[in-house]
Amino acid sequence: MMLLEHDAKELLAAGGIPIPAGFLAVTSDVVPPAALTGPWIVKAQVPVGGRGKVGGIRRAEKAADLRQALEQVLGMTIKGQIVRSCRVEQTVQGMECYISLSLDPALGRLNALLSTEGGVDIEAHAAKGGVLSADAAFRPDAALEATGKLATDIAGAPRETLARATEQLIRKFFEFEATLLEVNPLFICSDGSWVAGDMKFAVDDNALVRQPRLCDLIRRRADAYPEMELKLTHGFDFIVIDREGEIGLVTTGAGLSLQVLDELAARGHRAFNFCDIRTGQLRGDPTRLIHVLRWIATGPSVRSVLINFFAGITHLGEIAQLLVAALKAVPELRVPVTARLIGNGYDEAIAVFAAAGNPLRVEPDLDHAIDLALAPLLGARL
């Protein structure tokens, strides 16, 4: 889960990380607090990089400039993300540096990057060898040791400030169970202090059960994090990945779900959603299935639904009864439904569907199930 810059900064500032004074604007008709004097930086709040290169970050000298900048940035689309809010903050002067801490998911280790040349040209600095790097065991003590050694290779006054900043950021990285914390630029001021000028902060959403502050943030800002708010409220993953997608998915297991997405994309078709409904937690209750089918029914271009369940401990006979109940509870879903079911209790599931008048088509083979699900889009009969 990538936090918006405003939320990341405010969250870490509460724990002592220095940030520029600022506020969140959702309209252009804003009046900055009296203490927040210009010039200001207007920054589009979208969870992607490269905002500045496409006009998503602008400088405003006066109040009229601020309103104009907000009018220009709000509503922009940046890498498929609509800008619905902007962070407005005071400008900061100082030496621009760079710090990045990230989890290497393949190796389970921490990657650390450090440079006294930050800003928009960080990639060019890295290509020229201007960025120091190290990896360490994924523990605070190992990270502190590795970055401390990197800092010794930095000459002059910035060394001590960067070492101090890195230590503070490492503690926050592990405190919030982050997967990425990047500060670029990190300003070193003339008095030796530092300020996080820009920030990318991603956290492991599977760790939310241990992160009450993050959960509180998601609930307060549900409009900015709808998928995460849904996961907190309902206990499973449902993410709209293409509002114009033609296939609604009811799937269990992240791996199986991603496999179906890949298969559909390979055939040139777009899925409406990603889903990991976690059948083991249905517990004889169709509520989760009803929610998912209702959400899929809101898809303006959905013309077919594909269910993909692999049953291990879960019994397909029970799943079939829940599916029949859910389909009856969502009459607004008026598209063909195909179920790829395989595993324990398959024959009982077929009997349940037959007794209910066969409200969906069942196929144990995934390729054939996808063919059946795509047939309504292709005008074919299978």
Distance CA 45, CA 26 (A): 10
Q: What is the pLDDT of residue 155?
A: 76
- Read off the pLDDT of residues 328-371 as tens digits, 9 standing for 90 and up: 999 999 999 999 999 889 999 999 999 999 999 999 999 999 99
- Read off the pLDDT of residues 192-226 as tens digits, 9 standing for 90 and up: 999 999 999 999 988 998 999 999 999 999 999 99
Q: How far apart are the first and last CA of the chain?
A: 40
Share above pLDDT 90 across residues of the chain, in percent, rounded to a whole number: 78
Task: Classify burial at 228, counting beta carbons within 10 Å of its beta carbon; exposed 0-12, middle 13-18, buried 19 or more.
Answer: buried
Q: What is the mean pLDDT of residues 159-183?
A: 95
54 DSSP assignment: G
Distance CA 199, CA 1 (A): 14
53 DSSP assignment: G
Residue 280 scores a pLDDT above 80: no
- Read off the pLDDT of residues 15-44 as tens digits, 9 standing for 90 and up: 999 999 999 999 999 989 888 988 999 999
* Structural domains present in the chain: 21-90 (3.30.1490.20), 95-203 (3.30.470.20), 235-378 (3.40.50.261)
Report which secondary-structure segment, H or E, holds 103: strand 95-104
Q: What is the pLDDT of residue 125?
A: 61
* Sign of the dihedral defined by the CA atoms of residues 378, 380, 381, 382, in that order: negative
Q: What is the pLDDT of residue 299?
A: 96
**Both tokens of residue 376?**
């309504």
Q: Using 50, 70 and 90 to split pLDDT, how confident is the model at 123?
A: low
Distance CA 334, CA 349 (A): 22
Q: What is the pLDDT of residue 40?
A: 96
Q: Of the given ranges (90-99, 113-122, 296-305), which has the lowest mean pLDDT?
A: 113-122
Q: What is the mean pLDDT of residues 376-382?
A: 69
Q: Using 50, 70 and 90 to split pLDDT, how confident is the model at 313?
A: confident
Q: What is the mean pLDDT of residues 69-93?
A: 95
Task: Classify burial at 21, counting beta carbons within 10 Å of its beta carbon; exposed 0-12, middle 13-18, buried 19 or more.
Answer: middle
Q: What is the pLDDT of residue 49?
A: 85
SS3 129: coil
- Read off the pLDDT of residues 230-266 as tens digits, 9 standing for 90 and up: 999 998 999 999 999 999 999 988 888 999 999 999 9
Q: What is the pLDDT of residue 127?
A: 59
Distance CA 317, CA 346 (A): 7
Q: What is the pLDDT of residue 129?
A: 65
Quote the mean pLDDT of the chain.
92
Q: What is the pLDDT of residue 378?
A: 83
Residue 374 scores a pLDDT above 90: yes
